[in-house]
Amino acid sequence: MQKRLLLFLEAAVVSVVLSLTAGCSSFSASHEQTSDKGVALSDILKDPENLQAIQKGSRMLKACQTGDADEFLDCLPADIREKFGTAEFTRTRNAIQETMGTITSYEYLTMLDSPLFKTHLWKVHFKREGTLEKDKVFTQDTLFRIVTGNLDGKTYIVTFGFL
């Protein structure tokens, strides 16, 4: 019972860490999905700003999956890159892997629109070996988001993280 409580608390802490940090494998618009407003995913992809944001978010997830800090940081604006460097990327990625496991795949879901910012969401699938039962493999999904804004025709990531 105490071990389960500790695992629950560990999961809660990691959820907080994941929500404050960033962190893959398919992006496809082959089937016609709709967004929250009933807009087809293919229509979301027609907007160059959205496409640029989706490409950056997918690059970030791929970099998190492969451990490529330089690629991950290349997606971020300079002011965020100053606060979230290689050491922070490595520390955060290790914490995510310890709790959630390794990223096995990701899929872009939709965009939530607002007057100034756009929130892009991915479903991320993780796989992890059991901590109590080593022969068990656990899988779980979570959401990854990036919030973007547009300045002078260029898409900037304002914030990012797992939800």
Q: Domain limits of the chain?
A: 23-162
Mean pLDDT in residue range 13-27: 36
Q: Rounded distance, CA 58 to CA 31, Å?
A: 18
pTM of the model: 0.72
Does the pLDDT of residue 102 top 90, yes or no? Answer: yes
- Render pLDDT for 114-156 as a digit per residue (tens, 0 to 9): 888 999 999 999 999 876 677 788 899 999 999 999 888 788 8
- What's the confidence (pLDDT) of residue 33? 53
pLDDT (tens digit per residue) in 35-84: 555 567 888 888 888 999 999 999 999 999 999 999 999 999 988 888 88
Which strands sit side by side in the sheet containing 137-151, from one edge to the other? 102-113, 118-129, 137-151, 154-162
**Does the domain formed by 23-162 have CATH 3.10.450?**
yes
